[in-house]
Structures are given as structure tokens and as C-alpha cells.
Amino acid sequence: MAIAKKSTGLFFLLPGVAFLLIMGIFPLIWSLTLAFHKWKAATGVGKVFVGFQNFIDILTQDSRFWNSLRFTVLYVVVVVLVELVLGLMLAYILSEKIHFRNFFRILFLLPMAAPAIGVAFIWRMLLNPAAGVVSKILASFSINVPGLLTNASTAPYVLMLIDIWEWTPFMFMGLLAALQAFPPELYEAAAIDGANGIQTFGYITLPLLKPIIITLSLLRVIDAFKLFEIVFGVTSGGPGSSTESLSFYTYTTGFSYFNLGYACALSWVFLWIVLGISNIVLNRFRKEA
Amino acid sequence: MLKKKKVTVGRVIIWVVLIAFSVWTIFPFFWTVITSIKIPGEKFTYGFLPYIQFEPTSQNWSNMLTGPERERTLLGLRSSIVISALSSMLVLILGALAGYALARFNFRKAKDIAVWILSNRMFPPIAVAIPFFLMMRSLRLLDTLPAIIIAHTVFNLPLAIWLMQDFFRELPKEIEEAALIDGCSTFQTFVRVALPLALPGIIAVYILCFIFSWNEFLFVVTLSYKNVMTLPVVITGTLTVVGIDFSRIATLTILAITPPVILAAFTSKYLVRGLTLGAVKQ
């Protein structure tokens, strides 16, 4: 296995690990110490140690935090489920021999390669109530939607739709790769035994895909939790705070109100939530590594 | 007979789904291109066939590239290219070294180290944005290229190490062992034997990191405000200046979207591998 002495290996490993420790872990620890302070940079008053006060405030008094958590969780659940179902359907269809298969494969992955903020602005144009093309198309079907984005009950779902547009390709590409790795004999055997399409899918394809479905969904959950650009670009958290994600609320607290201590506490609460989910994924990777 | 008919119905459904999904995928891009070649006054019209329904214009593009917006556009383009190119290069150097170490040297805790490195990728960026801002402020690096290059390197390095480790493991060990026996030092073996063999993977990691850095938004918007501004941030600038200007947003967005989209189309297999952190290999 080993090519040379471990001590030589350390020279290879050290630069990268040191960089991650200094620029990745040190800031996190700094953020944790700030989380125990009250520090509103805009007021000119310095840091004051307040113990767990920020965390207590977040968990017991901050309705905006709970609101952003509720929105983010709902968002994550809806988009990951829809993307999984759509992606599975498309992958299943494209795993058969079809003309222009490679063309479709590349076409479908384009949305996720674009910068998310660009995607947000494209949709902002399309959905503009006065000049957007979507309201015009809907109007031609006599559907009148004066303001999908100015209505607190519809705006969250519009953002989810944009996410689904952007990230369904992720599920689709991942599942397609997995499907293509299956040996064709599997399906031939099922066909000989007289299984129809739905039976083959339910008893063979789905069970075999289960591990990759779980991994892809968890990765997507972690990523969707960080939702920021679409909110920033399309609604800025509005109307009211109906589309405020955890990332966006933390960002606003830190960089608009300069309430730095509180923002750090928020980001640590956020971090704990995400770490819980990423641990599950990391364990799966550890087993495969 | 019955069976054959069933198959045809199935085929029709497949093609209907495929075409519907293609339209859904392509329409937003298509409409942005159309908007960028319409006279600004015509943005409220809904013609989508150039020359037939409306007269296309290059006015928006020349405004952006040579007119009053020139400075801002060029700043964005320059920042985007420099930051993506340099941070990806830094990621590649650190990532190839560390990935090689994890693949080829028997560390007792190699697996733990690798998983710890990967865990860095999962942090929400906003969690480090505030300490990063404070760090860069005290180093007097706010609003400079190094600040963002460093941020993007931290952001991309875990993935690069993880993928490089995979690429090196897929190489046959025997060639490197032969080089060592012939008297190469470990470092020579790495540079002259392992790196050239892993070249396709190295290029793929570079392109992936380039795309992710190009698309990154949160660190750029929190660490810079005037002198450094990548294209994704330049797009958001269109909001504050004159309300919402469709023509400008459309042209800038196309400029910002085209490079990563083209790169992704050429490296589609690696893009999936990278986005799934190596869980899916094609």
C-alpha cells in the first residue's frame, strides 16, 4: 500500500490541512466566542460578554428565527421530494435507449451549472407582475395572478419552483448514472419471469437504487438548507418575512443590522442543525471510502 | 399486436415528457437571450421570434460592453476570471498534494482525516462569513482580490482533496513503485509519474472548482463592495441603480452564465461526480 515513509506523507498532507485549519476551523471557533457576546457594531459600543443570552433569546423569544426555520424546513422537504420524484422519472425514461440521449443529458444539466444568483434574476424577470412573460402567458389562459411574489401565501412556493427548476437535474443525473451501471441481465431475467414495467420498477429498480437515492437526497437536503441566493435575488425575504431562509436571516442580522454577536449565535444554531444531517451523510461516505 | 401497440404508446409518452421537460428547462434561458436583443422600450412586448415579431438590436450589448456600463462590466469580468482562475489553481496544488498523501501513504487515521476534510464542505458558508469579514478587516484585505481568493480556496479545497484522493487511488500503484525503485524521490515520483497519469482528473477538478468559484456569491457580497466585484454581484447592482432594468439584467446574466454552463456541458460527467462528492461515478 504505502509508497514511502509516513513522515514524507505528512509534508504532502500538511499544507492543505493547515490551510483548512487556519481558514476554516479558526473562523468557526472565533464565531463561537463571538456568539457569547453582545456586539452591535453600528452602535459603537464594544463587545460585552453575555454568556448564553444570545442562544436563550434565539430559542425562546426570536419569532423571526422560528419563522425562518419553519420556512427553510418546509422548503427543503418540498423541493427535495419533488426533485427526487421528477429526477427519478426522467432518469428512468432516459436510461432506455432513446435518440439524442446525450443531447438531453447535457441540456437537462444546464440549470445547475448557472450561478444561482443569475437563476434568481432570470426568474425575477419572468415573474415580474407588470412586464413578466409568465403573467402574460397565464393571462392568455384567463388565469389572473396579480402578484405571485407579493403574496405571502404564494411567494414561498414560487421560490420552491425555481429551486426545482435548478436542481431537479442533480437528482436526474445522479440517478441516471446509477441506473446505467446496472447490468442489463437483471431486467432480462425479470422480463423472462413475466414482470411488467411497473413490477420491474417496484421490485428491482427501486430497491437497488435505494442507497444512492438516500445519499443524493441527503446531499440535496444539506445544500437546500443553505438557501440564500434565490431569496436574495427574488424576494429579499419578503413579503413580510414569509420567504426568509435561515441563511438570509443570519446574513441580514450580521451585515444589515451589524448585530454581530447575535448573528454568530444564529449561525451556530444553524450549524448544529446542518451538522446533524451531514453526520448521517459522512457516515455513509466513511463506509464506502 | 397488442404488445407492439403498448410499446408505441409508451414511446409517445416518453417523448411528450422529454419535450415538455426540455421546454421547461430551456425557456428561461431562451427568454433571457430574447430580452437581451430587444430594444429596451420593447421589453413589455411578448414577441419571441426575432426579425418576425420584433427587430433585434445589439444596443443592450454595446451599452454593456462599450457604453456607460463598460467599467462595471469589465471590472466584473476581470474579477471573476482572476478569482476563479487563481483560487482554483491554489486549490489544485494543495488538493493534489493532500489527495496524494491520503491515497498513497498509510496514515493510521487516513479515513478519519479524509472524512473530516469532507465535513468542511458541508458547513453553511454564512457560518464563517462573519468571522471571515472580521479577519479580512483586521488584515486590511477587505475589498481586495486575495480576500476572495482565500475564501474560495477554503470553500473548494475539501471537495478537491476528496476527489483527487479518488483519482490517485484509481491509478495502478506499480508504475509509481517502479519509479521509486529506479531511484526517484517520493516528490519526483509524484510530479513526474503520478501527476501526469492523473491529468484528466486534475483538469476536471480544476474546471469544477473554476465553475464553483465563478458561481459563488455569498463571500463576494460580504467581503467586497467596490474594487472587486465578480459578475454575479454585478448583476445584483442593477437593482439599486435604476429600479429593475430588464435589458441590463438580461445581458449581464447571459455574460455571467455562459462560461460555467459551457464548461459544465463539456465536463458533464465530472460535474455530476463533483456535485455528488464522488458518490456517483460514471
**pLDDT tens digit string along B154-175?**
999 999 999 999 899 988 888 8
What are A13's three cell numbers?
Answer: 498532507
At which residue does the C-alpha cell 427526487 appear? A84
Domain co-membership, B217 together with B93: yes
Asked if A172 contacts A91 with a C-beta cutoff of 8 angstroms, the reply is: yes
Domain co-membership, B111 together with B145: yes
Domain co-membership, B44 together with B167: no
**Measuring CA to CA, which residue among B73, B2, B50 is closest to residue B248?**
B73
Q: Is the pLDDT of residue B3 over 70?
A: no
Domain co-membership, B138 together with B43: no
CA angle B127, B128, B130 (to 5 degrees): 95
- The dihedral formed by the CA atoms of B90, B94, B97 and B100, expressed in degrees to the nearest 10: -110
The rounded mean pLDDT for chain B is 87
Q: What is the pLDDT of residue B240?
A: 55
Question: Is B74 inside a domain boundary?
Answer: yes
Note whether B29 contacts A122, CB cutoff 8 Å: yes
Helices of type H across chain B = 2-36, 59-65, 70-104, 110-119, 126-138, 145-169, 173-181, 186-188, 195-197, 199-215, 218-223, 231-242, 246-266, 268-275
Q: Give the number of other Cβ atoms within 10 Å of residue B139's Cβ.
A: 12
Phi, psi of B168 (to 5 degrees): -65, -35
Q: Which of B18, B105, B131 sits opposite A93 (nearest CB)?
A: B18
Q: What is the mean pLDDT of residues B109-122?
A: 86
Q: What is the pLDDT of residue A86?
A: 94
Q: What is the pLDDT of residue B233?
A: 92
Q: What is the pLDDT of residue A111?
A: 94
Q: Is the pLDDT of residue B238 over 90?
A: no
Last residue of a domain, one of B40, B62, B84: B62
Asked if B274 contacts A160 with a C-beta cutoff of 8 angstroms, the reply is: no
Note whether B217 contacts A173, CB cutoff 8 Å: no
Instruction: Please check whether residue B191 touches A, CB under 8 A.
Output: no
Query: What's the pLDDT band for B2 if we cut at 50, 70, 90?
Result: very low
Domain co-membership, B44 together with B90: no
For A95, A136, B35, the CA distances from A126, given in Å and listed in that order, are 32, 10, 10
Q: Which chain A residue is nearest to residue B252, measuring alpha carbons?
A: A118
Question: Is B268 inside a domain boundary?
Answer: yes
Query: What's the pLDDT band for B229 if we cut at 50, 70, 90?
Result: very high
Note whether B265 contacts A106, CB cutoff 8 Å: yes
Question: Is B280 inside a domain boundary?
Answer: no
Residue predicted with more confidence, B181 or A45: B181
Q: What is the pLDDT of residue A30?
A: 92
Question: Is B197 inside a domain boundary?
Answer: yes
DSSP state of A239: S
Q: What is the mean pLDDT of residues B20-26?
A: 93
Q: What is the pLDDT of residues A193-235, one digit of tens each?
A: 887 778 888 888 888 899 899 999 999 999 999 999 999 999 9
Q: What is the pLDDT of residue B121?
A: 85
Q: What is the pLDDT of residue B255?
A: 93
Question: Is B282 inside a domain boundary?
Answer: no
| Regions of chain A with pLDDT less than 70 | 1-6, 146, 289
CB burial of residue B14 (10 Å; 0-12, 13-18, 19+) = middle
Domain co-membership, B98 together with B136: yes
Domain co-membership, B235 together with B261: yes
Q: Is A37 helix (H, G, I), strand (E, B) or coil?
A: strand
Crossing angle (nearest 10°) for helices B268-275 and B199-215: 70
Q: What is the pLDDT of residue A278?
A: 87
Instruction: Please check whether residue B244 touches A, CB under 8 A.
Output: yes
Spell out which residues of chain A touch residue B190, defining contact as CB-CB under 8 Å.
12
Last residue of a domain, one of B62, B90, B109: B62
Asked if A114 contacts B260 with a C-beta cutoff of 8 angstroms, the reply is: yes
Q: Which domain holds residue B58?
A: 2-62
CATH label of the domain that carries residue B116: 1.10.3720.10
Query: What's the pLDDT band for B259 if we cut at 50, 70, 90?
Result: very high
Q: Which residues contact A194 (CB under 8 A, 6 or more apart)?
A: none
Last residue of a domain, one of B62, B87, B108: B62
Question: Is B238 inside a domain boundary?
Answer: yes
Q: Which of A12, A20, A286 sits opposite B97 (nearest CB)?
A: A12
pTM of model > 0.95: no
Q: What is the pLDDT of residue A1?
A: 43
Domain co-membership, B127 together with B55: no
Spell out which residues of chain B touch residue A98, defining contact as CB-CB under 8 Å.
14, 18
Long-range pairs for B38-47: beta carbons < 8 A, 24 or more residues apart = B38/B247, B40/B245, B40/B246, B40/B247, B43/A131, B43/B246, B43/B247, B44/A130, B44/A131, B46/A133, B46/A136
Q: What is the pLDDT of residue B44?
A: 59
Tell me how many domains chain B contains: 2
Write out residues 151-210 of A within 8 Å (CB-CB) of B.
165, 169-170, 173-174, 177-178, 180, 197
Which domains does chain A show, CATH number per domain? 1-31 (no CATH), 62-288 (1.10.3720.10)
Amino acid sitting at position B244: I
Beta-bridge partners for A40: A259
Q: What is the pLDDT of residue A192?
A: 83
Domain co-membership, B266 together with B245: yes
Domain co-membership, B257 together with B163: yes
Domain co-membership, B141 together with B248: yes
For B75, B115, B120, B157, the CA distances from A16, given in Å and listed in that order, are 30, 14, 12, 8
Angstrom distance (rounded) from CA A4 to CA A16 = 19
Q: What is the mean pLDDT of residues B3-12?
A: 65
Domain co-membership, B19 together with B41: yes
Question: Is B42 inside a domain boundary?
Answer: yes
DSSP state of A48: E
Q: What is the pLDDT of residue A191?
A: 80
Q: What is the pLDDT of residue B1?
A: 40
Q: What is the mean pLDDT of residues B83-94?
A: 97
Question: Is B164 inside a domain boundary?
Answer: yes
